Structure 1
């Protein structure tokens, strides 16, 4: 593909109105389906747009969120493709998982099974935010034959191929705990404490709002209404789910998937003030696969909800590139 841009876009105009997210409780919305995985977990899937569209876009959400985080992109993409959105195991309306299966490796296999069940034929573009992007990378490693034939493009948003816990205070702490052989005990303690913390949890608290603002927003994209929206979205996920998946980020390494991903058009979006998946991780992915790189100044990890116009434009540009690219087998 031959392009490794390191282009940064200028600060965009103010974001559109804060979206109203569909409720998590009550009957599933129209277009809902259930995909049962090979280990018996029921995954909630929603299908939107024209069933006869020539292209399907499958959207995978981030850690402790649910498919509703794509609500704004759903509006922008609906006229361009058939959309498939799903809640990752333990999140949203999907079923819970055995603790041993709360891994990126497993969510990659789940994504493949959603693809097989709901988009069994025709070209597909995979999109993932944060943990969702990691799931896309895991699928590329597990099933490389899909890429270049069935999977014809990928949109990776605020994500990483590995090395998230190598630096900083947390990185040094994890290395120390590993060195003295206490990491399994530490992780088990986190899992045991989670149900107790869930019973004591105060959702919507000022501290939770500060924590959300600190970790998921950037220098100049933290409008109070959006901070509250993201806080509400993330606090829907119970602490036991958070604790179960926590360990998988310590060992996350999908660098082997990058060679596979290079077969198709890819766009990587990174935010300059992302504290969870810093922009350097997006740059490394883009350089490895020859992707279009869009760096969003002043934004944080929730860039799809705060810099909607930039993200939508980058996504639609990717679909244009996919339409123009020759198809070739993987």
Structure 2
């Protein structure tokens, strides 16, 4: 089948799906208004306003990575946060808020995201992100550290382990992998029947490529939030839409909307081809926590269980009622787990501690 015809069919599938979503959102516009009128305990939360000490990390290929250092400089251990696909360092809002007074924290925008500079599509790879993380550690982390990665950020940590296993056990004393995967993302079903799921995956790559070529036009239409994006993210990103704060949904949607369409297109192939199962043994040198929402459609719990199977001493926490954006949806459990991990990393000096377990 010709590429032109394939793209045409892909566009038709995506267009039909988009029309259906738009029609459904229009029919339920009144419901969105009702959602926003409900009592919202997070309405006054200063999302995107917490700031640290700014820093720039210049990579070997000339990209300037924006970072912020927060918390006491004299802390014995640093916690480094790697955000997910289409997000930025502000996605760690609750973790920064609750840990900044007692721990030294480093947050950074992965290349092409947030305030970091752009790079050609050929440099939008998971291995390159792992190399970026190595340079962040060299520049901003003078002593031992714990690495925390969400979604694509977890893949970044795995890429670092693959390329620099010598860092784990000495420099890197602990790891948290949140809502992520070691590979085979192209096989996820998104909760769809098998045939429909295969059709979606077949259409996705050319459709995303097509969107990337029309990025400037599409971005103009993404500048303002709308009911369709609000409802879609509320449904896909969070496990219990009825309980999630509309303010949190709006905050997450604004980060995604700020990520240019061509960046989304450039990184998509890297996510689908990601395979770091062979690197998991490196992480077994240090205390490792694996966290996933039980209702995560984007990196399903089976992917976290596969990581856990490759890390006999890791501890797996499956959070009921949570989905992919679990650091924003269930920060209490995430932060409790991180606090315990940091303590284990400090106490063990990097050695792997205890047998693995699964908590729900």
TM category, shorter:
0.7 to 0.9
1:35-55: CA deviations, max 9, x gaps?
111111100010011111100
Note the 1:247-266 alignment, pairs <5 A.
247-266=269-288
The answer for the alignment partner of 1:217 in structure 2 is 238
Q: How does 1:6-155 map to 2 (within 5 A)?
A: 17=42, 19-22=45-48, 29-119=51-141, 121-155=142-176
Q: Identify the residue that residue 279 of structure 1 maps to in structure 2.
A: 301
Shift of 1:233: 2.0
1:269 aligns with 2:291: yes
Unaligned runs of 5+ in 2: 1-39, 190-194, 353-360
Per the alignment, do residues 39 and 171 of structure 1 end up closer, same or farther by CA in structure 2, a change over 3 Å counting? farther
Matches within 5 A, 1:148-187: 148-168=169-189, 172-173=198-199, 176=202
Q: 1:323 to 1:38 in 2, by over 3 A?
A: same
Q: 1:139-193, CA deviations, whole angstroms, 9 ceiling, x for partnerless residues?
A: 0001101001110100111111111111436762477579xxxx6x666434212
CA-CA distance at 1:223 after TM superposition: 2.8
Calculate the aligned-residue CA RMSD, in Å.
2.3
Check whether the contact 1:50–1:81 (CA below 8 A) recurs between aligned residues.
yes
Look up the match of 2:310: 288
Q: 2:225 aligns with which of 187, 199, 204?
A: 204
Higher mean alpha-carbon deviation, 295-304 vs 164-173, is at: 164-173
Give the secondary structure class of the aligned counterpart of 1:200: helix
Q: C-alpha distance in 2, partners of 1:76/1:147?
A: 26
Secondary structure at 2:316 match in 1: strand
Separation of aligned partners in 2, 1:256 and 1:171 = 27
Distance in 2, matches of 1:285 and 1:271, equals 15
Question: 2:330 matched to which residue of 1?
Answer: 307
Report if the CA contact (8 A) 1:159-1:281 is conserved: yes
Q: 1:204 to 1:260 in 2, by over 3 A?
A: same
Residues 226 and 175 (structure 1), Cα distance of their counterparts in 2 relative to 1, 3 Å cut:
closer
User: TM-score normalised to the size of structure 1?
Assistant: 0.86
Give distance in 2, aligned partners of 1:326 and 1:115: 18
Point out the more displaced range, 167-176 or 141-150: 167-176
Please tell me whether the aligned partners of residues 211 and 218 of structure 2 are also in contact (alpha carbons under 8 angstroms): no
Change in 2 beyond 3 A, CA 1:176/1:22: closer
Deviation at 1:17, TM superposition (A): 3.2
Distance 1:78 1:165 in 2: 37
State the alpha-carbon separation in 2 of the partners of residues 281 and 173 from structure 1: 21
Residues 1:175 and 1:198: Cα distance change in structure 2 (over 3 Å):
closer
